[in-house]
Amino acid sequence: MEKILIDAFKVKQPIGTFFCGVIDAAKLKEITYSDIRRLEKSEGRELDDFIGIQRPLSETRRKSIEKYIKGPEATFPNSVIISINENNVDWDEEEKKLIIKYESESKKRKIAKILDGQHRVSGFNEENLTFFDDNDQETNFGLLVTIFVEADLSTQANIFATVNLAQTKVNRSLVYDLESLARSRSPEKTCHDIAVLLNKEKGPFYRRIKRLGVATKGVKNELLTQASFVQNILKLMTHDATADRNYYLGKEKGGEKSRLYKLEKTSYDDAYKYPFRASFLNSKDSVIASNINNFFSAVEKLWPNAWSKENKNSSLNKTIGFIALARILKRIMQQFFTVDGIDDSKIYDEEEFLEILDGGVLDEADFENLDATSKSTRMIYNMILENLLLDEDEE
């Protein structure tokens, strides 16, 4: 009989007794499986049966978690919840050890059913089961685990439903706001800092951005969430904010971590594709902030009523308009680069942006009463794009 020993403690709650402990991710991955909820045809019955309790595994989410695990600050402080048959478990009360046992390698894979945490477990592979700690020692990735022994299917389903229904999705604006506390440089931190700066300074974004994604007491008509601002400016700065963040964080930590992460997308073509990238990579955040401010100042000057916070009928001053304008900003910056070359220190003034924006075709009324949908975002973008005074050779 093969065995895995886990340091654990016993917990008693109304649902029953269970165990909490620590196990290496590699070992947990070896003994667990997910019971996906699906339809199964029953013999002699008119109705199909639903079996299993888990949601289908999302490949997109799995890849995202796999990438996250490789980061220098990966953490899973919440436990993976599993259920094990009592025949596969012994409890050593004196040593406080939970003993997971199995007869053979062939039966090892089906010992523990995952009740919560299937995506976390699926994100581990041969490349991320270990990491280098602060002493540059290769260390196994440990996971907290909650183990229910001989829980019936009804109890398993209740645990899954309770855990997942009780979860509240974290406000993305709050997540970006917390980037201000980060020790190292990152695209999200830069975009957050710019959002805060522009929101408090007199200009096109003055008291217009909802910090933390909720209305500020005493401030009216904050039409743009911090998350919307950050997410759309990020697209002008980076292809992968997480990869950039990992690079700067690894560099700050030093040692082996500083060699694990490389800075990507640093060519001329990348600087053209992401117009704020060169400035970001050279720590010239004030240049980025100034160009954003001057562009939107030109928008406000050209279409003052449509950009006004007080205009409830306008779509230009809302999220769909901002998304379209961020894309237009990218287009104009690329036009500048085509003519002048890429200069990470160059600040274009309001009049330079206005000269390209003002094609003399659009009327402010064209931005009114559009539905708040992605289709309207494309419509606004195309309307403004057709109004731009670009070089004839430009598309």
| Chain segment 159-199, per-residue pLDDT in tens | 777 776 656 667 788 777 877 777 789 999 999 999 999 99
Task: Please give the pLDDT value at position 179.
Answer: 76
Find, among 123, 125, 124, 143, the residue nearest to 62 by Cα.
Answer: 123
Ramachandran quadrant class, 393 (left: phi over 0; alpha: psi -120 to 50; beta: rest) = alpha
pLDDT at 108: 83
87 pLDDT higher than 60: yes
Q: What does the domain layout of the chain look like in residue ranges?
A: 2-165, 172-387
Triad 251, 256, 260: Cα angle to 5°: 70
CA 319 – CA 263 distance, rounded (Å): 31
pLDDT in tens, 302-321: 999 999 999 999 999 999 99
Residue 218: the pLDDT is: 87
Question: Does position 141 have pLDDT exceeding 70, yes or no?
Answer: yes
What average pLDDT does the structure give for the chain? 88
**Per-residue pLDDT tens digits for 48-74:** 444 454 567 788 989 999 999 999 989
Residue 231's pLDDT is 96
Least confident of 30-34, 122-126, 144-148, 321-325: 30-34
* pLDDT recorded at residue 164: 67
% the chain with pLDDT above 90: 65
% of the chain surpassing 70 pLDDT: 91
| Cβ–Cβ < 8 Å for 99, 90 | yes
